[in-house]
Amino acid sequence: MPAASLGDQGHSGTESLPSQHLQPTWVKDELMDEKGKEKEKDPKYWRDQAQETLKYALELQKLNTNVAKNVIMFLGDGMGVSTVTATRILKGQLHHNPGEETRLEMDKFPFVALSKTYNTNAQVPDSAGTATAYLCGVKANEGTVGVSAATERSRCNTTQGNEVTSILRWAKDAGKSVGIVTTTRVNHATPSAAYAHSADRDWYSDNEMPPEALSQGCKDIAYQLVHNIRDIDVIMGGGRKYMYPKNKTDVEYEIDEKARGTRLDGLDLVNIWKSFKPRHKHSHFIWNRTELLTLDPHNVDYLLGLFEPGDMEYELNRNNVTDPSLSEMVVVAIQILRKNPKGFFLLVEGGRIDHGHHEGKAKQALHEAVEMDRAIGQAGSMTSLEDTLTVVTADHSHVFTFGGYTPRGNSIFGLAPMLSDTDKKPFTAILYGNGPGYKVVGGERENVSMVDYAHNNYQAQSAVPLRHETHGGEDVAVFSKGPMAHLLHGVHEQNYIPHVMAYAACIGANLDHCAPASSAGSLAAGPLLLPLALFPLSILF
């Protein structure tokens, strides 16, 4: 049965499904051969392409006002606009194309906005305060998750009474299935804002908490993952060691002391997670890729997959026997979550894009982003634009750039075509404003032609020496498709994003625009969206 929409109420302009299904006919993922290069020399090629794009844009006037049965949020941690562009080029070059003409999966989304990322106390934000914004709908202080700006970082006694809930909680309260998939620890900044309320993002387990915070009654984030929302349907990522008692041997890295359990309270949170699940439900804890790919999603009600003691490995370093890829985790998550007739909310984080940039390892960061784009494509093939709102965005940017007048098709990890006119040395197209790549040899900038700048772990040169490269403060892109995606447009505060997702799905506190189904025969379609004109803007957002 089609999803409910404003068109169901007899309003003009919404009778047919909007053309977000469509793409301009010139859009093809094909090799850029010599014939293609010749086409680009003909002005007609560019004019025809532009006219096709114009037709597509005009079709977007038929807005998709369906109710979003499902909401999927992809969060590229640290995926600023320069990272998106470089990822696009890399994706194309991995397919033996020049790269610049390639389209990422997110590039195909019909609506794009910009998000202002600052924290309430920080011009250049961190991933915790931003996660609180795009998941809980309120801006917060740097370093805090799931709490308002009244909570000060590391001060436990400022937490109580200042907790804020997330769209994951709103979806669960509405009867939807919910899931979290990340390449970081499942108790890292981004995922933790979905379920935890913590004055410090670094309180992964009680081992990382100061005695004062423990004595004041604050709980670590891993503890909150298991206890706060006990029926999260799917949880996948890293972070095994924070779930087990101090010094408990890891199931995979038996002789690695750093992989051992960290908990001082002696709790086995995995066993506690299992104990909270109803006996008649099928609950599975897994720790490797083989177990994941042999699951029968039809016989899984709850899934906890912890594939590494800490963060998961970079995609380029991944052991494809023990560790699943992000796209593999996303496929299984959707297979499990979509069984719920009321729909689902899924948070997917490409979390190690950020880590690659912090380490100055652009190649690692960009391959992480390519993998996230692959996961976006997989999710798109498993869902429908009729009833699934998909949002792709970043929490913040990085001081990552590429330039140097490189020619078309230049390797994204390659050299600029000229020497510096100051120190007469070559330089790579990719550079960082600051970070660990700052190197001086013999009192001068390192000559990059003397090192392997195409190595997976090459640290691109930076202008200022820092052990860890920093975030950037510019706006980030928000790509959206599906029901009500057009509400993500223009330049917005970052905390606007979950309000749109909740509005589209008829969940959360703002339900004035939703009406219950009027007949038993239409219950499966969920609530109806009432005409916006019936409600003053003051109560909509």
Active site residues: 127
Q: H or E stretch including 334?
A: helix 326-337
| Helix/strand/coil (H/E/C) assignment for every residue in 203-247 | CCCHHHCCHHHHHCCCCCHHHHHHHCCCCCCEEEEECHHHHCECC
Binding-site residues for Zn(2+):
77, 349, 354, 358, 395-396, 471
Residue matched to tokens 């699934």:
388
Residues in the chain: 541
Binding-site residues:
77, 188, 190, 349, 354, 358, 395-396, 471
What per-residue string of b and e applies to 121-139 under the rule 16 or more CB within 10 Å gives b?
Answer: bbebbbbbbbbbbbbbbbb
- Residue 71 CA to residue 389 CA, distance in Å, equals 5
Residue matched to tokens 């890293």:
238
- Amino acid identity, residue 271? N
Q: H or E stretch including 539?
A: helix 537-540
The residues, any chain, with a CB within 8 Å of residue 467's CB and separated by 6 or more, are: 436
Binding-site residues for Mg(2+):
77, 188, 190
- Amino acid identity, residue 107? D
- Amino acid identity, residue 477? A
- Residue 92 CA to residue 99 CA, distance in Å, equals 4
Residue matched to tokens 């003051």:
538
- Residue 504 CA to residue 444 CA, distance in Å, equals 56
